[in-house]
Structure 1
């Protein structure tokens, strides 16, 4: 059997390796337009910034490795120009010699990946303007920095690559400005979490401009949509990627609603004996079941393995994605999995939202604060999504949450997890468990939480609402929620006796714990509706910043 694969990065090489494990008889050839194969693309910003000293560490495997270990032929510098599904013929061009040849296949796997989106900005093709998608891009950027020693960098876009490049260019001593068309950085996050990232960037000396776009790039400036100008002798365009599907379209393969190749759970395309995997395919979301496009190296490896397996008679089935991702921005980790609040509302869920602010381990062991935002379905308690930001312990927790959501856990299940505990690693009740406790009380225990946005809407509705600051007097006097009265925790029981029982009441403290304690006191004294403000005064202050933007 002749297996041909187009593309030799994560999905293509994973497909070839799995196909070979299943069959020693198959003839497996990969055609790759580029020079580099099977590389660690996510490590590229760190080579540019000097944290990874040797670029070859990101390209540890070459065609000789695959030939010797898997008996797979990888032909680099070869572009597949045409696919004829009826005759099962490929037209292939050797880019070094210019010669074309025909090859036949029994099974074909598209692993053509994705390409950087290059917006129509005047001057975007200038020599000091780069995208970062492959190893050639990485070496080009590194060479330019070494030779030209740029002082001012402008990064257009604030997704994963843009943020990682901001950190690494800053480490090289450049002045860095980020430009984002949206009103927030890190578009995949909810706005109330993205503001944490923006604050951290500012603290590290990175200027962030949101709500504007780049209009023109000159030799040493970037002109924005409002005609303001930024110094920039190095410009990185990091405005996302789109699937590389032109060849598949020409072959008559059906595209999905996201513009990527449509595949079934077995990685089969609409054309018989043709599979697809990696960043060129459309996935579906594990929660909603709807099509999504989430190009990640982890998913590319997974789907490539499935395509290689099924092309050789296997039956592995794809179970969808949650969009789980994590990145580092200086000394802060940012992670998410499942649906954001914005996405859950768009899907029509009635949701409960909590902001859980807890250290990753006890403060006496150097614990550092994490913010965990969770989104749950009010109707059945199912956990829908989580976003976490903090210096330490974020990776551990997001993976726990991803596993829980994958298997349909409900918020009350989190409380019963038998998680590992020792002071160097966690608090006695892990932040994951605290998230479950907050959500369980909110959904089932008559201890509801209210987001700052919901409070703002309630206060603007004209309904009578009592806002109670449960912190000590000194903290209240320094800053408090608008129209809040101060009832310190120590005085709450005495004050509760005289409260009007039918007035909607919202309690808060700095982060949520004391606000919840006063909420309990008021509820037990007969006040009918008492909410605890999610994330407390800390989250309120960030909400004010959001409103000003």
Structure 2
């Protein structure tokens, strides 16, 4: 059996090596249009910034090492250009000689990955992406030839753009980040995004949201806001789209999002052809809808499963949660599943739980605060998604929540998870347990809540906002028009609140929960501001940014 694999990075090489471990007799040929195979593309920004010191550390395998250990025929600088499905043959071009030839196959695996967006218009300043070893080398060559601290323009505030920004700053470059959207990371909750914007600006990055590059010009770029920025380099990180042209030209079915359509065993509309990685459409884990999820973990998993399917093992690919994490200077941002905005856009009735716990016991030195958003199905308490921004401990909690989603746990059942505890690692009530407690209170009707972005309308309709923090905390910053009644004095001032719609809040929501329960048991209906003052302040700042963009 001859298996031909198009693409030699994450998905393709996972398919090739797994298949060899399952079938010693198969003939396996991998064609890769780039110079390198099996390289660590997620590490590229960190070599740029000097975190990964040696370039060779990114080169995981070579054609020679793959041939020696796995007896795989790897052909670099070889581009697949056409598929003859009837003849079961793949047309390839040797990019060094221009010679075209045909590779017959019994099974074909398309791991073509993703293509960059169309080039930015104009020219005169070097424009590069950061997706391959060659890209990284080209970026380094420009920076090393430029004056020390030369300005760099990064276009796109997704994962690659943010990682590039951090590492360019580490090199001493003056960095401007331009993004079409109203926040860094389009999937990120608006209130959480403020911490990312703040981290960028605190580290000297000029952040231009709601802005695009109209034209690259000599010495810089002209922006949609009319400004022309100086730049020795423009780093294009606007995102990717599925590299599905080879499949489409062969008549293979594409999905509604433009990726290659596959079934649960990664087979395309032609049973002899499988497709994996960033080129394919995944199934969303929440509602099963087609989704584009360009993640290295999913690509590796898909490659392994494709090899299993070719070898005759049972395969049923799990849907995609889109679990991801990125570091932005001193902030860690992680997410899995749906955001609150996506749930709203899908018309899914949902609750949102917001907490601000410390990553380990507060009395143990070094506790760092994190902000967590949990999205919960209104009808069945199912977890729809989670997002976290903080310092230490974010990675551990997002992984627990991703596993909980995969296992089908309800939000309320998070309270029952038995998680490892010692004061330097967590708390007896872990942040994940605390989410479950809040979710349980909401589901049972014990606690009523209001979202930060609904406060303004509620106040306009006659609600009173009561700040139950101390008077000193209130004086340092408060919601406009709010009344200060510390929680310990609340029982003595109940008459001021009877007959009124009351919104209570504290710093993060815990004292306000006590206040809400006191009021409820004295006949005063009150709602707790979800996530407290910290959430309202961050959300208000982010909303002001967004409104400023609308009026710019």
Match of residue 433 from structure 1: 433
Provide, for residues 177-232 of structure 1, a one-character-per-residue CA deviation record: whole Å limited to 9, x for no partner.
11111111111112111111001111111110111111122222221112112221
Match of residue 75 from structure 1: 75
| Contact 2:82–2:246 under 8 Å retained in 1 | yes
| Contact 2:15–2:304 under 8 Å retained in 1 | yes
TM-score by length of 1: 0.97
Asked if 1:520 is matched to 2:520, the reply is no
Match of residue 541 from structure 1: 537
Shift of 1:120: 4.1
Moved more, 56-65 or 478-487: 478-487
2:416 alignment partner, SS class: coil
Moved more, 248-257 or 93-102: 93-102
TM-score by length of 2: 0.96
Match of residue 129 from structure 2: 131
Shift of 1:426: 0.4
| Contact 1:511–1:537 under 8 Å retained in 2 | yes
Moved more, 512-521 or 155-164: 512-521
Match of residue 337 from structure 1: 336
Match of residue 318 from structure 1: 317
Shift of 1:143: 1.6
Match of residue 289 from structure 2: 290
Tell me, in whole angstroms, the C-alpha distance in 2 between the residues paired with 1:152 and 1:2: 51
Unaligned runs of 5+ in 1: none
Match of residue 217 from structure 1: 216
Tell me, in whole angstroms, the C-alpha distance in 1 between the residues paired with 2:200 and 2:274: 42
Provide, for residues 478-512 of structure 1, a one-character-per-residue CA deviation record: whole Å limited to 9, x for no partner.
321122111101101111255314x3211001111
Match of residue 494 from structure 2: 496
Match of residue 509 from structure 1: 506
Shift of 1:446: 2.5
1:264 alignment partner, SS class: coil
Tell me, in whole angstroms, the C-alpha distance in 2 between the residues paired with 1:76 and 1:211: 40
2:422 alignment partner, SS class: coil
Match of residue 240 from structure 2: 241
2:401 alignment partner, SS class: helix
The residue correspondences of 1:347-362 to structure 2 (distance < 5 A) are 347-362=346-361
Tell me, in whole angstroms, the C-alpha distance in 2 between the residues paired with 1:456 and 1:375: 22
Match of residue 422 from structure 1: 422
1:91 alignment partner, SS class: strand
1:199 alignment partner, SS class: helix
Match of residue 266 from structure 1: 265
2:285 alignment partner, SS class: coil
Shift of 1:119: 4.7
Shift of 1:127: 4.9
Q: Aligned residue pairs: how many?
A: 543
Where has structure 1 moved over 4 Å in runs of 4 or more? none
Match of residue 118 from structure 1: 118
Tell me, in whole angstroms, the C-alpha distance in 2 between the residues paired with 1:202 and 1:336: 22
| Contact 1:351–1:375 under 8 Å retained in 2 | yes
2:405 alignment partner, SS class: helix
2:356 alignment partner, SS class: strand
The structure-2 alpha-carbon separation of the partners of 1:213 and 1:49, relative to structure 1 and needing over 3 Å to count, comes to same
Aligned-CA RMSD value: 1.3
Tell me, in whole angstroms, the C-alpha distance in 2 between the residues paired with 1:100 and 1:214: 38
Tell me, in whole angstroms, the C-alpha distance in 1 between the residues paired with 2:529 and 2:229: 40
| Contact 2:220–2:233 under 8 Å retained in 1 | no
